[in-house]
Structure 1
Amino acid sequence: MRADKRPQTCDVSVTADGNSLRLGFPKRHTPLWEQLKGKSLKGKPNYLYLTKYGFSADNPEDWKRATQLAIAMEADLDHPEWEKLFDPTLAKYGLGGGKYSKLADVLQLPGTVQANPEITVREMWEAYLEWKKTVVEETTFKVRYETQFSNLIYGKIWNNQTKAFTQSGLSIDLIRLDDKQNLILVLSRIKSSKKTYFLSELSQAFEFSKSKGILVNPTTENPFTLDKFSTPAVTTQQKYAPKIVNGEEKEWHEVLDEKDLENDRRAFTKEECKIIIKAFYESNSKAVILYAPLIEFYFLTGCRTSEALPLTWKDIDFERNLIRFSKSLGSSTKKVKETKTGEVRLFYFSENSRLRELLLKLKSESSSELVFPNKKGKHRLQSSVAQTWRGYKQKRILKDGTETDYWYFGVVARLVEEGKISGYLSLYHTRHTYITLTAQANSHNNNALLHIATSCGNSVDVILRHYLGVSEETRIVEAF
């Protein structure tokens, strides 16, 4: 088959033979490759096939990346000190682990004094994880560090078709920390809604390794500084636009994590709260109606969505009219843990309140220790509550045998679709709605604001600035 060749920017060529991308090295590099292979090439150029590393000749972006690799390799091979710069394991170029990986242990080119290689991103990250899991809570470690960030490092992306992780071809785990050129090259191509957090964590991991003496060379510079990857400011329209995640379009609220949602303080109106709660109670689905008291509870307390799920009747004191929020339910571990802030909060309600009436009714009908159990008397999961609120996608087989994705509307998504509420906000926004509406009703009562802040695990300063729009400068003006 005739090879496809694009315009070149260096002597290391990038060509395609069928669907396979490959690098072709000029004859002046032949002696090196003969040493690596241990045999004569008989004057023929050496080819390095990139398909096994995730490159495809059908992808224009892979052509660009292969060209960058060709430039980097040629720059090293043609340098006067090429013996020190070129990495025969290919790990420096993000292609380590191939058949040349073990040769670096025995290869000694004529006149070469091999320096001890710097550690790889993988070695840095594994050491950092060992420490990080001792200082963050279990769910955060599992979701953010062990899954999200580690998958980005190892180039793993979720394939919604196969329901499994596949290689993206953008792994950085085998690149050495002193290879800034290739690290920047690969990192600049990684697409992720968490990229800023990811780069910040890599930078912290580097500084941790440096402080612990894990680096081989103490003068190695931090290659993960954020200014190299700075991006333009995101507009409000862009922020709330649908995102493509692992090839699948997702709404903004499906991408944000709890930290993002905590900072997105939009709220429903009082009338919209009534419409949503009524829709749950009057649903045609008995399964949905079971969620109605929990949804009403969220709107009446402003607790974080994970804090209501492990509540037991021992946490409710009807004599003193208070709720004790001391724990939450991990979304991934499904284990009971402490609250997000690690604090115990007391939420007081009045004798004739709607909240007290709701809890007494649930208590009279309950045979479980949990306030909001599922049908089996166990903890409800955040994912199931969110699906009932938002909806979910499911594959369906049509009459003609074709398979299609069908979207089942959740209660709130349906209300938006029908135009009964102004727009969609996530389940977490029940918290912001409670704080906003209660704060607005008590904006001139400092004691009430302090009570709201304490009972919701917030501060009066945050409520004034972010929920009531009162500037700090206004609050500190003296009366005389």
Structure 2
Amino acid sequence: MREIKPVNNNGSIQLKFSVGGKRYSFNPIPGGQFTNHRDYKTAQAIASQIQNDILAKNFDPTLDRYRLTPKQPIQSSTQASKPLTLLELWDYWVDSLNLSVATRQHHYRAIRQQIIKANPDLLDTLWLTQSHLGASTFNQRLGYLKRCYRWAVSKTLVTSNPYDELKTRRVYAKSIKPFTSREIKVIIRGFEESAIHYAPFVKFLLATGVRTSEAIGLRWCHVDFDQGFITIQESLSRDWAGNGYQRVRKETKTGGSRHLGMTDELRLLLWSIKPPKPDQDSLVFTTVQGKTIDDGNFRERYWVKVLTKVGIDYRRPYTTRHTTASHAIDQGTPVTGVAYLLGHKDTRMVMQTYGHLVNRPDLPDIPIG
């Protein structure tokens, strides 16, 4: 299947493609400009969504699912009347940022929903400090609100920033409990007995340590049996601009790509599930019905049940990533190598998360007997 890409149509953005012999051509962003970086990236995301839906046989021929509402001109601070509530101020600020649809529908929308529920005035901070938010979420939202008010002060929409007086909360590091070699064998056996279709998917997660969205988005064109490596360069992540269940193909979390050399066992695993003549754009791992895997559905319907059945203490599927990293460190892989395997830009995250495993010294031999 030919990749769908935005094209320049006299300055506007056009998507052109064919499905089942029928040709489609439409502008996904009314008012958007091909030369505008944000508009172009949004169009790319929509093109990826269309391509994914075609592959998953979930394409909307009306195109309604892929159209954005026309861009509205943002009022300047001189045009806008001064806000009377935090909700009005929040909307002014978010509009000024000219965010992509996906970004706006993620953290910004979550904070807006909380503001709507509390309906605070411009100086009220109790709605945030008295909310039952975890420390990380509280700190994140406080940071957004501080930036919002600093912008508002600069635009003379408000005279002060009440959130500058609030302090962040202490975040306690969560203990990581990777799966042991014994637990890995028990989990794999559990999937082979109770959910055989997903056993290769679980084995792949454990063997590579890739992010779940990267495994879900892996295509056969990324698997090179001749050279013996897998290329991780994109993911199928939740489309926060949609209903949460749609997925959009995009670059990896850190924006880079990495080549993972296959072990003999991993090569045999992938070869065993490879179709005789696979479409290079088709997904390596799918649901039983051949659809895109939804990580939430997989966790609830299969992961939890298998772990419960085999008597393994529950840990989320992301623990497979911690497992790969900790076993790599135990087997002598340098920190720089672990960072590469996990797709981090540097070793900072590895040291922060797994530093207690690196070069662990033995206790000195003290004569206490």
TM-score (norm 1): 0.51
* Equivalent residue runs for 1:201-350 within 5 Å: 201-211=144-154, 213=155, 215-217=156-158, 220-225=159-164, 228=166, 233=170, 265-283=176-194, 288-331=195-238, 332=244, 333-350=246-263
Report the counterpart of residue 45 of structure 1 in structure 2.
none
Q: Distance in 2 between matches of 1:149 and 1:455?
A: 34
1:132 to 1:433, Cα distance in 2 relative to 1, 3 A: farther
The amino acid that maps onto 1:134 is L
| Paired position in structure 1 for 2:127 | 186
**Cα pair distance change 1:234/1:302, threshold 3 Å:** closer
2:26 matched to which residue of 1? none
Question: Cα–Cα, structure 1 residues 196 and 413, in superposed 2: closer, same or farther, change >3 Å?
Answer: farther
Partner of 2:162, secondary structure, is coil
Which residue, out of 332, 345, 355, partners 2:266? 355
Whether the 8 Å contact between 2:230 and 2:260 is mirrored in structure 1 is yes
SS at match of 2:131: coil
2:350 counterpart of 1:463? yes
Aligned partner of 1:200 in structure 2 is 143
Distance 1:208 1:362, change over 3 A: farther
Q: RCO higher in 1 or 2 (8 Å CA, sep ≥ 6)?
A: 2
1:323 aligned counterpart, secondary structure:
strand
RMSD between superposed Cα atoms in Å = 2.9
1:171 aligns with 2:119: yes
Given that residues 330 and 336 in structure 1 are in contact (C-alpha distance below 8 angstroms), is that contact kept between their aligned partners in structure 2? yes
Q: Which residue in the other structure is 2:309 paired with?
A: 414
Give the secondary-structure state (helix, strand or coil) at the position aligned to 1:154: helix
Counterpart Cα distance in 2 of 1:154 and 1:413 = 39
Distance in 1 between the 2:295 and 2:191 partners? 17
Give the Cα–Cα distance (whole angstroms) in 1 for the partners of residues 185 and 324 of structure 2: 12
Structure 2 equivalent of residue 439 of structure 1: 329
Residue 132 and residue 363 in structure 1: after superposition, are their counterparts in 2 closer, same or farther (change >3 A)?
A: farther
Q: CA contact under 8 A between 2:87 and 2:112: conserved in structure 1?
A: no
| SS state at 1:469 partner | helix
Q: CA contact under 8 A between 1:465 and 1:471: conserved in structure 2?
A: no
Q: CA deviation at 1:387?
A: 1.5
1:128 aligns with 2:93: yes
Counterpart residue identity of residue 337, structure 1:
K
Whether the 8 Å CA contact 2:178–2:323 is kept in 1: the answer is yes
| Cα pair distance change 1:216/1:467, threshold 3 Å | closer
1:267 Cα deviation after fit: 1.1
| Closer, same or farther: CA 202–460 of 1 in aligned 2, 3 Å | closer
Q: Is contact 1:436–1:468 with CA below 8 Å preserved after alignment?
A: no
Aligned to 1:452: 338
Question: Relative to 1, partners in 2 of residues 1:184 and 1:134: Cα closer, same or farther, differing over 3 Å?
Answer: closer
Match of 2:115 among 153, 172, 177: 153
Q: Match of 2:166, SS?
A: helix
* Candidates 144, 148, 154, aligned match of 2:107: 144
Q: Deviations over 1:113-160 (max 9, x none)?
A: xxx86553122211332355637x82x5423222x21111101xxxxx
Q: What is the aligned-residue identity percentage?
A: 27
| TM-score, normalising length: structure 2 | 0.65
